[in-house]
Amino acid sequence: MPSGPQIYVDADACPVKDEIRRVAERHRIIVHLVSNRGFRTSDHPLIRNVLVGDAFDAADNWIVEHLAPGDIVITGDIQLADRCLKAGAQALGHNGRAFTVNSIGAALAMRELSSQLRDMGEIKGGGPAFSQRDRTNFLNALEQAVQRAQRAP
């Protein structure tokens, strides 16, 4: 059984599950795909499929309660990233953007501003489409995060 850092995935809207699986296989790291909706599960021995209830933040809460310092969390949720950083984990967005203790405050402020602008009708629609470049950036960032986690004491 692999030991060391594990990867936790906020899986409901995660577009990089295949990339996560490839990195997990290469490094023999356990991955927890956490969801509150049904999704296609994996029977891969390193993948743990976790279905939580549909209560507000149930997946986020499960992740924060189970991770350990040095683990890696994959999420597009800035508030979850903040909670994970405070628990000592690394946090990556789906596009490979690393959330850090130095950048999370600005990301939270930008999220709040964008929310207010959407509520006022100043912003419509979502962000740009997810690209192959985003996948490549994510794969590189996850590889670096795993290497950092494996070097940590």
Span 7-151 CATH architecture:
3-Layer(aba) Sandwich (3.40)
pTM of the model: 0.83
3-state secondary structure of 133: helix
pLDDT for position 122: 65
Q: What pLDDT, on the 0 to 100 scale, is given for residue 68?
A: 95
The pLDDT, as a whole number, for residue 63 is 97
Pairing of strands 72-74, 47-51: unpaired
pLDDT of 129 reads 77
Q: What is the pLDDT of residue 65?
A: 97
Low-confidence ranges of the chain (pLDDT < 50): 1
Domain ranges of the chain: 7-151
For residue 110, what pLDDT is reported? 61
